[in-house]
Amino acid sequence: MSPLTQNAGRRLSAADHRRLDELFARFEELGPRCIGYPCNRDWDYSELYRFLSFNANNVGDPFQGSLYRQNTHDFEREVLAKFAEFTRADPGAYWGYVTSGGTEGNMYGLYLARELHPEGIVYFSEQSHYSVPKILRLQHTRNIMIRSQGNGEMDYDDLRETLKLHRDVPPIIFANIGTTMHGAIDDLDRIKAILAELAIPSHYIHADAALSGMILPFVGDPQPWCFADGVDSISISGHKLIGAPLPCGVVLAREAHVDRIARSVEYVGVNDTTIGGSRSAFSPLVLWYALRRLGDGGLKEIVDRSLTSAGYAVAALRDRGIDAWRGENSITVVFPRPPEALIERWEIAPDRDIGHIITLPHVTTDAIDAFADDFASALAPSP
């Protein structure tokens, strides 16, 4: 008798069932008001749930065969090929894998940069994702934080003057392609011009494009952000604009860089080129399903709808006397920090003196109007 058959009669207690029911009810109640975080809720992956019955594992390099064959490496490669197209990577010269999310993608990019430039210094702005200082501490990489501007972009004058002091050390530039709080995109052309001005030939640029990496491929006039614009690696989230039931993402890098750090592992019969050993085989399936079902046209519709909603949100808040704004090609709407009760009710993301909402498809105009009304009422003087 198999262990599954032996345990078939075991059941949760009534109290445990109630806890699960209460959790489900809480998630359902919070969902419509979750407008401050970049997690699209407009999806349905029920067709894939049957695959959760297997011990699928995408251990190792997705571009090589593995001795553990219950994997989705073939689906993962198709996902990577599509993201390579979005990021304008050379079709024959990229490598990547599906990650657990943006933090792992950033960790991989910075790890690769550090391996290529062991003495290098990482330059990142104060608006970079909160995981970046943690990653740099874990990797013991030399680093310098650069000031940011009011719109969230890197302060290029500060970058120039700081680079001047360390011209003998290869710089590793951590470029924000959509900052967490402002949705700001660091100007790659200006960064590269500074490197050229200072005659710094050896450098590495990693792009954190967690959210905007799925927006910029579908707008008419995107800012420079991808491989064609000079980056060496890119991290993009999958659970943000596309939407997924679990955190996931993609990291891509120039294959020549990755080849220099690959190590073979006999146990699984595959190169150990990723951060994790065992990796989710379900996440690549989710991304593959979304990309195939939506197609480029469906993704563009999501982007267009989200950008339109962002414009609507700015206007709705301004009409109620609230100073709201957003950056170019951004669906992050920024405003003065709301009262704490409003932050809790609407799951608003705050940082010091500002807050924001992110107008992904599940954020309807009705929700925007309701939030704007609540915000205006909270600011109104008491009678």
Mark which of 269, 292, 315 sits at the end of a domain: 292
Q: Do residues 367 and 286 both lie within one domain?
A: no
Q: Measure the CA dihedral 106/80/94/198, to 10°.
A: -40
Residue 56 is predicted with a pLDDT of: 96
257: Cα within 13 Å, side-chain hemisphere: 24
Q: Do residues 287 and 358 both lie within one domain?
A: no
What contacts 24+ positions apart, CB below 8 Å, involve 343-352? 343/36, 345/33, 345/374, 346/33, 346/34, 346/35, 346/36, 346/371, 346/374, 347/30, 347/33, 347/34, 347/35, 347/36, 347/37, 348/35, 348/36, 349/36, 349/37, 349/180, 349/181, 351/180, 351/181
Residue 269 is predicted with a pLDDT of: 44
Asked whether the CA dihedral 246, 274, 38, 305 is positive or negative, the reply is: negative
Residue 192 is predicted with a pLDDT of: 98
CATH of the domain at 94: 3.40.640.10
What are the residues facing 43 on neighbouring strands?
Answer: none
- Is the CB of residue 226 less than 8 Å from the CB of residue 215? no
Give the C-alpha distances (Å, rounded to integers) separating 296 from 124, 208, 218, 337.
32, 22, 8, 36
Give the C-alpha distances (Å, rounded to integers) separating 21 from 8, 155, 233, 285.
22, 49, 43, 28
Mark which of 292, 314, 347 sits at the end of a domain: 292
Total structural domains in the chain?
Answer: 2
Among 131, 235, 330, 382, the one annotated catalytic: 330
Residue 350 is predicted with a pLDDT of: 94
* DSSP character string of 155-208: -HHHHHHHHHHTTTS-EEEEEEBS-TTT--B--HHHHHHHHHHTT----EEEEE
Token digits of residue 57: 């594992």
Q: Do residues 36 and 59 both lie within one domain?
A: no
- Is the CB of residue 98 less than 8 Å from the CB of residue 76? yes
Q: Do residues 82 and 112 both lie within one domain?
A: yes
157: Cα within 13 Å, side-chain hemisphere: 1
pTM: 0.93
Q: Do residues 98 and 132 both lie within one domain?
A: yes
Q: Do residues 99 and 123 both lie within one domain?
A: yes
Q: Is 63 exposed, middle or buried (0-12, 13-18, 19+ CB in 10 A)?
A: middle
Token digits of residue 112: 């690769």
Q: Do residues 59 and 204 both lie within one domain?
A: yes
* DSSP character string of 246-299: S--EEEEEEHHHHHTT--EETTTTEE--SS-SS-BSHHHHHHHHHHHHHHHHHH
Cα–Cα distance measured from residue 72 to residue 252, given in angstroms and rounded to the nearest whole number: 18
Number of residues written out for the chain: 383
CATH of the domain at 337: 3.90.1150.10
Q: Tell me the pLDDT of the chain (383 aa) as tens digits.
A: 455 556 666 899 999 999 999 999 999 998 888 999 999 999 999 999 999 999 999 998 999 878 889 999 999 999 999 999 999 999 999 999 999 999 999 999 999 999 999 999 999 999 999 999 999 999 999 999 999 999 999 999 999 999 999 999 999 999 999 999 999 999 999 999 999 999 998 999 999 999 999 999 999 999 999 999 999 999 999 999 999 999 999 999 999 998 877 654 433 445 678 888 899 999 999 999 999 999 999 999 999 999 999 999 999 999 999 999 999 999 999 999 999 999 999 999 999 999 999 999 999 999 999 999 999 999 887 66
- Is the CB of residue 49 less than 8 Å from the CB of residue 287? no
Q: Do residues 168 and 264 both lie within one domain?
A: yes
Does the active-site annotation cover 330? yes
Q: Do residues 132 and 32 both lie within one domain?
A: no
Q: Do residues 282 and 197 both lie within one domain?
A: yes
Query: Which residues in 138-149 are b (16+ Cβ under 10 Å) and which e?
Result: eeebebebbebe
What are the residues facing 176 on neighbouring strands?
Answer: 208
Mark which of 292, 320, 355 sits at the end of a domain: 292
Q: Do residues 26 and 142 both lie within one domain?
A: no
Q: Report helix, strand or coil for 91.
A: coil
Q: Do residues 350 and 218 both lie within one domain?
A: no
Q: Which domain holds residue 206?
A: 50-292
Widest CA span of the chain, in angstroms?
Answer: 74
